Amino acid sequence: GESVGLHLPTLSVQEGDNSIINCAYSNSASDYFIWYKQESGKGPQFIIDIRSNMDKRQGQRVTVLLNKTVKHLSLQIAATQPGDSAVYFCAETYGGATNKLIFGTGTLLAVQP
């Protein structure tokens, strides 16, 4: 069945370095992908999204890359800051329906000062 997974459950980086968080998806029909950030004890916050007709999308200090050939999604965070420490998870949907979103389990990003 469809699934969304993450390669690395925990990622530790030094402050100022770039971070890359990966996500694999199994449904080639998925057409919309979202990255969320969740701080401890709080609700998820939208970071960035990308549609399947795009390979790359940039935001403020973040870039999402989509490789449809290998069904891989990545989130790049430039100049990682202590405030970036959180769990990051991706979500996918097919048919464009928000109620069909499938969420990954998350990667914990730990930023070392």
Partner 1 sequence: DGGITQSPKYLFRKEGQNVTLSCEQNLNHDAMYWYRQDPGQGLRLIYYSQIVNDFQKGDIAEGYSVSREKKESFPLTVTSAQKNPTAFYLCASSIDRGVGELFFGEGSRLTVL
Q: Which residues bind partner 1 (CB under 8 A)?
A: 4, 32, 34, 41-46, 49, 51, 89, 91, 93, 96-99, 101-106
State the nearest-atom distance from the C-beta of 16 to partner 1, in Å: 29
How far apart are alpha carbons 103 and 100 in whole angstroms? 10
- CB contact at 8 A, 26 and 8: no
Q: Is the CA virtual torsion 16, 110, 82, 55 positive or negative?
A: positive
How far apart are alpha carbons 84 and 109 in whole angstroms? 7
State the nearest-atom distance from the C-beta of 93 to partner 1, in Å: 7
Nearer to partner 1 by Cβ, of 90 and 111: the residue is: 90
State the nearest-atom distance from the C-beta of 51 to partner 1, in Å: 8
Nearer to partner 1 by Cβ, of 44 and 85: the residue is: 44
Q: Which residues have CB under 8 Å from 47's CB, separation 6+?
A: 34, 35, 36, 37, 59, 62, 75, 88
Nearer to partner 1 by Cβ, of 16 and 34: the residue is: 34
Nearer to partner 1 by Cβ, of 46 and 83: the residue is: 46
State the nearest-atom distance from the C-beta of 103 to partner 1, in Å: 4
Q: Name the nearest CA neighbour of 56 among 68, 45, 41.
A: 68
